[in-house]
């Protein structure tokens, strides 16, 4: 598994404060409660969203009632683009897993915005390319990796921005788990009990340390090497 910049997504408007204000002037501000849906599968895809604050999960619901999580969107990220560019029906649901503040922009206004601000257009193209690569990796993980490997890779994905700023990938990294074990299971094609048992096994092996909502990767480089085997 090769780690790269596609695992890190910076704020869409980082370095562009004026463009951010113009985007907001074209958008509608929405406050979303924890558990509230932003949109449902099959809703019209005629807008997209900039997440000012909070965490959103993008997921589907299967015929058997399972809810595989496709992506997690965090503060500073844009979502709802895939269907909105072609005005297709939504192919997934978007739900807040924390209280959120977001800005919704209709596609006519978004097209106007992009036509005036090429640097943001270029950044969005880069973001979509990174997300496509991430999804391809996720498909590969589900096809060929066991649960332990999928979980280790998920942990590395989750702390990757911290790794980039770390002096050494062999030093411990501590970060907060944004997802519950059930949600992690939904992202890794597993179940909550298996995730819990795998966390326990990884702690016994000295690879991780879990305390409440915080998790420490004792040696991230070692975990990467194990996940690549």
Q: Where are the domains of the chain?
A: 5-138, 145-228
Window from 87-101, 147-161, 163-177 with minimum mean pLDDT: 163-177
> Which pLDDT does position 197 carry in this prediction?
96
Confidence of residue 1 (pLDDT cuts 50, 70, 90): very low
Mean pLDDT of 46-70: 94
Give the pLDDT confidence score for residue 10 in this predicted structure: 82
* Residue 30 bridge partners (DSSP): 102
Q: Look at 23-32, 130-139, 144-153 and tell me which has the smallest mean pLDDT.
A: 130-139
pLDDT for the residue numbered 212: 86
Alpha carbons within 13 angstroms on the beta-carbon side of residue 33 total 2
Q: In the structure, what pLDDT confidence band is assigned to residue 86 with cuts at 50, 70 and 90?
A: confident
With bands split at pLDDT 50, 70 and 90, how would you rate the model's confidence at 6?
low
Q: What is the pLDDT of residue 138?
A: 86
Percent of the chain at pLDDT above 70?
96
Residue 4 has pLDDT above 80, yes or no: no
Buried b (16+ CB within 10 A) or exposed e, 143-173: eebebbbbbbbbbbbbbbeebeeeeebeeeb
* Residue 20 banded pLDDT, cuts 50, 70, 90: very high
Residues forming a β-bridge with 39: 94
By the 10 Å C-beta count (0-12 exposed, 13-18 middle, 19+ buried), 99 is classed as middle
Report, at the CATH architecture level, how domain 145-228 is classified.
Answer: Orthogonal Bundle (1.10)
Which fold, 5-138? Jelly Rolls (2.60.120)
For residue 223, give both structure tokens: 């975990």
- End-to-end Cα spacing for the chain: 9
Which residues are within 8 A (CB) of 138 and not within 5 positions of it... i.e. 6 or more apart?
A: none
pLDDT for residue 209 is more than 80 = yes
């Amino acid at each position: 598994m090769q780690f790269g910049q596609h695992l890190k997504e910076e704020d869409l408007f980082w370095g562009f404060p004026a463009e951010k204000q113009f985007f907001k002037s074209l958008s509608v501000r929405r406050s979303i409660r924890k558990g509230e849906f932003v949109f449902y599968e099959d809703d019209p895809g005629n807008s997209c969203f900039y997440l000012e604050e909070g965490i959103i999960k993008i997921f589907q619901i299967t015929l058997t009632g399972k809810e595989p999580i496709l992506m997690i969107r965090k503060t500073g990220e844009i979502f709802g683009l895939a269907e909105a560019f072609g005005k297709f029906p939504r192919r997934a649901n978007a739900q807040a897993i924390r209280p959120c503040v977001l800005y919704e922009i209709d596609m006519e206004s978004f097209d106007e915005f992009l036509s005036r601000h090429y640097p943001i257009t270029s950044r969005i193209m880069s973001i979509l390319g990174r997300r496509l690569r991430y999804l391809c990796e996720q498909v590969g993980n589900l096809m060929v990796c066991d649960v332990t490997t999928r979980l280790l890779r998920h942990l590395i994905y989750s702390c990757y921005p911290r790794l980039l700023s770390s002096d050494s990938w062999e030093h411990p990294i501590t970060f907060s788990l944004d997802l519950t074990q059930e949600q992690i299971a939904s992202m890794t094609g597993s179940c909550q009990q298996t995730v819990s048992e795998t966390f326990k096994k990884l702690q016994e092996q000295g690879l991780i340390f879990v305390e409440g909502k915080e998790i420490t990767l004792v040696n991230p480089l070692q975990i990467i090497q194990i996940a690549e085997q």
